Amino acid sequence: MLKSCKYCGRIHDSKFNCGKKPRRNKKDTRETKFHGSRDWTKKSIRIRERDSYLCQCCIRTMKGTIEEHNYKNISVHHIEPLSQAWDKRLDDDNLITLCGYHHEEAEKGNISKRILKQIAQEQNSKADEE
């Protein structure tokens, strides 16, 4: 069937590869599979609940904090990366809720793993008391 190609602008068969269509570069690693798993979904929700859906660096007014009670653009961060510590992928002491800015800083190594682990342990202690 002939169609107008949204990549090259010409008209050709819909199954024809004009060479302009971008290639998908997604690798199916165990890390990407894990992030799509039910176990990870459940654990990430549990960690967000433990951390009250707030960035744990912002609440401690660490460098780069704009809003102390930041609940925007949060995600769960693996303190020890999956590629280096696969066995710790679901450990509460290895997971922390961070905003986008602090998550990026943690990934770059600008926030020490030691500090992040201390925060995660504090949060676990608070959760155990409740």
Residue 49 lies in a domain: yes
Note the pLDDT tens digit of each residue in 56-104: 999 998 988 888 898 899 999 999 999 899 999 999 999 999 999 999 9
Q: Which domain holds residue 55?
A: 42-130
Would 73 be classed as within a structural domain? Answer: yes
Question: Has residue 22 been placed in a domain?
Answer: no
Residue 26 falls within a domain, yes or no? no
Where is average pLDDT lowest: 2-16, 50-64, 104-118? Answer: 2-16
Determine the pLDDT at residue 67: 86
Return the higher-pLDDT residue of 31 and 49: 49
Domain membership of residue 93 (yes or no) is yes
Count of domains observed in the chain: 1
Q: Per-residue DSSP letters for 33-85? A: HHHTSHHHHHHHHHHHHHTTTS-TTTTTT-TT-S-TT--TTEEEEESS-TTT-
Q: How far is the C-alpha of 25 from the C-alpha of 104, rounded, in Å?
A: 22
In a domain, 5, yes or no: no
Q: Is residue 46 pLDDT above 70, yes or no?
A: yes
